[in-house]
Amino acid sequence: MGRLKNVGVWLGLSVPDEAGAEERTEAVELEPVVESTEAVPEVEPEPVVELSEVTEAAASTSFISVEPERYADAKEIGDNYKLGFPVIVDLEHLPVADARRLVDFSAGLTYCDGGTIERINKKFFLLTPPDADVDPEQLAALRDQLTLK
């Protein structure tokens, strides 16, 4: 089968040749499943925190700071934002390409639910959910502190 045909099959645009499919078929032997006789220890579930308790706590907390080391850390930013916490994103330790992707992710995150994204300085951004109140004095102090860096 030619390379173009292989690409078409891989993309799902064409059907593989029957002759080629038979050549690639290999027999695989599976090991039998062995039942364990050991008792499984019982684990007590952790207490569940009500979402209303978390949002009340978010209102009393000033900021949560996240220092992502790679783009995959965007989940931590999104999780804290969804819980109602204002999130400071520190992009100092990221490569430029990952930092741009995280800023795009953060802008989309805040746009989706009516929050705001604000640049504090060159490498720091503040994501504020729509229900969170950020004290202007705290924000001014934060800007002063980060300007010195």
CATH for 51-147 is: 3.30.110.150
The answer to whether the pTM exceeds 0.85 is no
Rounded distance between C-alpha atoms, residue 54 and residue 46, angstroms: 16
State mean pLDDT over 99-112: 93
pLDDT in tens, 67-98: 999 999 999 999 999 998 999 999 998 999 99
Six token digits for residue 141: 């102090």
Task: Please answer whether residues 120 and 142 qualify as being in contact, where contact means their C-beta atoms are separated by less than 8 angstroms.
Answer: yes
Alpha helices by DSSP H, listed for 12-132, are 18-24, 51-60, 74-82, 96-113
Is 102 a residue whose pLDDT tops 90?
yes
Question: Of 68 and 40, which is predicted with more confidence?
Answer: 68
Strand partners, 90: 124
Task: Please answer whether residues 91 and 123 qualify as being in contact, where contact means their C-beta atoms are separated by less than 8 angstroms.
Answer: yes
Cβ neighbours for 54, distance < 8 A, ≥ 6 positions apart: 83, 84
Question: Of 52 and 134, which is predicted with more confidence?
Answer: 134
Rounded distance between C-alpha atoms, residue 100 and residue 105, angstroms: 9
Is 145 a residue whose pLDDT tops 70?
yes
Question: Of 25 and 60, which is predicted with more confidence?
Answer: 25
The reported pLDDT for the residue numbered 36 is: 64
Is 41 a residue whose pLDDT tops 70?
no
Region of 12 (left: φ > 0; alpha: ψ -120 to 50; beta: rest) is left
Is 114 a residue whose pLDDT tops 80?
yes
The reported pLDDT for the residue numbered 12 is: 67
